[in-house]
Amino acid sequence: MKKELKKGFVPALGTPLDENGFFLKDSFVRQIDLMLSAGAVGLLAMGSMGIQATIRFGECRKVAEAALEAAAGRVPVYVGAMDCSIARAKERLASMEDLDVAGFVFTAPYYNVVPAPKALNFFKAVAAATSHKIYLYDLPSVTQSKISYDMVMELVRTVPNLGGIKTADINMIRKLMLTPELPASFEILFSGLDMFDVGYSWGVCTHLDGMFTCVPANAKKMYEALAAGDENTAAQCLSNILFLRDHMLTLDLMPAYSAAMNLLGCKGIFNQDYCTPYSESVKASMKEAMTKIGEF
């Protein structure tokens, strides 16, 4: 299994399900093929865009297995194992512990506000329950609990299998990058979509977001432009991606995302089961928007 993570983009994969909530492997594999063809340097299965919190528990291992099989060692595969308690997170880990993943990804528990000491207890306990690396997922808009610089450094000192962090906090990233005690192996995945081109110019060169999955043409062009130093082209591609994201937000983000993935030939439902299914007018609107930015 390829473990090292290069400069470039890591898509947070959508999870295609049928109307009863069962995993659609063929659609998932098509999505991964689109991402690898676009130049993805890694894959995150069952992140927030992958609706990890609402997937049937019995389907989670299938998703992880399919991601590993489709990647076939070409890029590292990270797997979300988030949950609301240590006991439940350990069950998730145990169900996938034998898989050759690059690491398991954890937010802070997301049902209640979790102060730093309790979040640290959580991260230390789940890390001790796996032989794999764990990655912090800083997502305060969902979890209500921010992962701070001081928390990261406490875990760097005490958790030997800490692999890195995914965060949109560019100020914390800068501080971490300037910290001599931070191990060279610690991976920083920037998730501040609006700043990806600027972050790249600052040396924050590995980016993770779910929007990449529905814009393979723009993702490919953007990261080729960034690697070539073509800032203008990269900025235009990012503007295209942001245009589509903002358009999706006006329609209802996750059902619109389902429409986008279906238009790309990835069948199934990519939104939570309590969402109202997208309409034909939403599908037409998404096709028009995706055509405008060059995805068709």
**Domain assignment present for 180:** yes
pLDDT at 1: 44
pLDDT in tens, 225-270: 999 999 999 999 999 999 999 999 999 999 999 999 999 999 999 9
**Domain assignment present for 78:** yes
DSSP calls for 30-99: HHHHHHHHTT-S-EEESSTTTTGGGS-HHHHHHHHHHHHHHHTTSS-EEEE---SSHHHHHHHHHHHTTS
Structural domain for 120, as ranges: 8-218
**Domain assignment present for 20:** yes
pLDDT at 3: 54
pLDDT at 199: 93
218-221-223-224 Cα dihedral, nearest 10 degrees = 170
Instruction: Indicate which CATH number applies to the domain containing 156.
Output: 3.20.20.70
**Domain assignment present for 276:** no
Q: Which residues of the chain have pLDDT under 50?
A: 1-2
**Domain assignment present for 284:** no
**Domain assignment present for 15:** yes
**Domain assignment present for 248:** no
Domains of the chain: total: 1
**Domain assignment present for 247:** no
Query: CB within 8 A of 244, min separation 6: which ones?
Result: 211, 214, 215, 260, 289, 290, 293, 295
